[in-house]
Amino acid sequence: MLFIEKMPTRYDAGAATVLAGETTVTPTNAAWHGNIWGDDLFFLPSQPLVPPVRIDAVNDDGTLTLSLPWPGVDAEEADYEIRYIGSIERSTAQSRRVLEQLGDVKSWADVFVATDADRLALESAGNPLRAGFRVLVIEDGLIWAKASSAYDDWLPPAEFQGPQGGPGPLTEISFGPVTTLNPGQPASVAVVAVGEAAVRLDFSLPRGQDGTGTGDVVGPASSVSGRIALFSGTSGKVLQQAGLSVSDLEPARTRPTTPEKQTGVGTTPRGWAAEDVAQAILAQSPSPADLEFTVSQLALALADANNVALFLGPNGNRFADSFDALTYVDVAGATNLDTGTAGLLKPTVAIANSLASQTLNNDPFGFAGATVKQLVGASVLTTNGSRVRVTVQGSASGLTISGLYIGNRDTAGDSWDALSLTPITFAGVGSLTLGANQSIVSDWITFALDETKDLIFSFHVSANDFKQLATGLSGSDYNRFYKVSANEAAVANASGYTATAGTLALIRQIEVQTGSNNAIVRSAAFTAAAVPTKMKALINVREADAAVAGTDYFLDCSRDGGTTWTAMVLTERYTSGNLRVVEAAETDVSSQPSGTAVRWRFKTLNNKNVELHDLYLYWS
């Protein structure tokens, strides 16, 4: 009986040397020639953030030529991995070797069977074999051929036998120079004897006709610098100048509007194709953050394409979700989940009072047209926070203010001066009109509140008056300063203000965000076609707080609907700013109770704000 070992998925014998920016890889104690093919992927485990690079060619001297210059750092005789691509071709080559072990009879028949009964079982009345199909019956030593495509219509058999011949002399063949001919000239090859049993092949080959799809791409006779090139016609080889330059393009950030589930292999999920994201990078980005986002999508698309090729095989499933809709998210079963922003999932924030709610009890008079500077002393503040919102209240006659600001007091200036001022908005607007005794809560604004520092609130009263606490409080706790003038609400350092000690105006309450809660969220259950035994995932996250994958956030997977979970090992594959493309390693779920209800679960720990923007889940 012939045994065939399982085909390997990678080659890592010996060591490799490659220099940054170079395309040549040199082996040490490695036999790449014959084992490695073009399009295989070269990877250094010592540089995990550098993506695998496609091999362009395996050279006769045993070196490799990469398709792109090595994007990592220099590596000398380092451990490496070459991941095989194109398993169908390798399987074909292996099958060919097996047949050669059985005997070189492949040219005589299309298929080999043990007995004549096996030959007859190859076809049925509903599925006959084609005309000319040949079958070698090993038991009888006969070759049968179909006379036509009709069922059971066979020619008489021929005996397969003959004397064994001896081996002939081997001829060594080498390749000589290649001469390029003009389009239309006939191709030729000259056989040149270079020894008693050696020949050299010199080729003469015509180049393709320009513009026909078989030759070089050609463009116009002249062009304007910076203009975009477009294809002219359908040949794929003729270019023309567009009327736009790259700077004329609008930003293009391609994201799927709904999750997409795909069975088996094929294309990357809708809107996430690597070529689409690459096109978006060419568009003019309004800010570095947008460019980082776009590049992260390209990294995600490339990683997904790699997983499709290496992990799924012909019988896998894949699910992609960008959370623009929450159809496939178990929101009801989540803990501390904020879904207020389309396109991402994030933890809710912890909120605390820095100044507890005050009961304002007095309506002052005559402040219309005045700018007010309100000091709130550190002595009444209780909690630090990274973001702030305030509650304000108008008087019995109402209130209109144009601009409200917050800042830390400048201890080197007047008692009403601030180091700088940050605007406070209400539904995104700086101005505000309140009805009689009405209170309203501001938006959350980014401001680092330090409970050890005095605060200055600055606002301009356009009409009516504010509500305030009656005078007589401690001047170190609250102090109101005012000046009838043009609007100086946004002026950090001003002069000529009159003090009213022991008074708190307008501000009823100060709240701060003290950090993020720990969130847990899982997907809805996806139905697998068969019981999965392994899973893998990719996630795209934004670490708003400094965080570590596998320490501050985790990903689990389940095949029994979420009753049993298995933790997945996370590794960062791409980093740009605070954006991360993180890969969850192939995870064995065969020990879980059998089931086809596939789920993922994302968790944050240590009160870190980590946003989940995209998730790809694979199972097989």
Say what the pLDDT of residue 160 is: 76
Say what the pLDDT of residue 232 is: 81
Residues of the chain with pLDDT under 50: 1-5, 250-286, 314
Say what the pLDDT of residue 186 is: 86
Say what the pLDDT of residue 162 is: 59
Sign for the CA dihedral angle at 89, 91, 94, 100 comes to negative
Say what the pLDDT of residue 95 is: 63
* Count of CA atoms in the C-beta half-sphere (13 A) of 284: 8
Say what the pLDDT of residue 224 is: 83
Closest to 106 in 3D by CA, of 114, 95, 117, 115: 95
Helices (H), 163-287: 274-282
Which residue, chain included where needed, has tokens 């969130």? 519
E strand or H helix at 138: none
End-to-end CA distance of the chain: 31
Say what the pLDDT of residue 265 is: 32
Mind listing the pLDDT tens digit for each residue in 285-335?
Answer: 445 555 556 666 666 776 666 665 555 554 558 888 889 889 999 999 999
- Cβ atoms of 110 and 145 within 8 Å: the answer is no
- Cβ atoms of 489 and 403 within 8 Å: the answer is yes
Mind listing the pLDDT tens digit for each residue in 482-503?
Answer: 999 889 999 999 999 999 888 9
Q: Give the domains, in start order, of the chain with CATH numbers.
A: 10-85 (2.40.30), 94-159 (no CATH), 295-347+517-619 (2.60.120), 352-513 (2.60.120)
Say what the pLDDT of residue 163 is: 59
Instruction: Measure the CA–CA gap between 564 and 558, rounded to whole angstroms.
Output: 6
Burial (CB count <10 Å: 0-12, 13-18, 19+), residue 360: buried
Mind listing the pLDDT tens digit for each residue in 85-139?
Answer: 865 666 666 666 655 555 555 567 889 899 999 999 999 999 999 999 999 999 8
Q: What single-letter amino acid sits at 75?
A: A
Tokens of 409: 């007091």
Instruction: Measure the CA–CA gap between 298 and 610, rounded to whole angstroms.
Output: 21
- Cβ atoms of 381 and 462 within 8 Å: the answer is no
Helices (H), 248-318: 274-282, 288-307
Sign for the CA dihedral angle at 170, 175, 179, 184 comes to positive
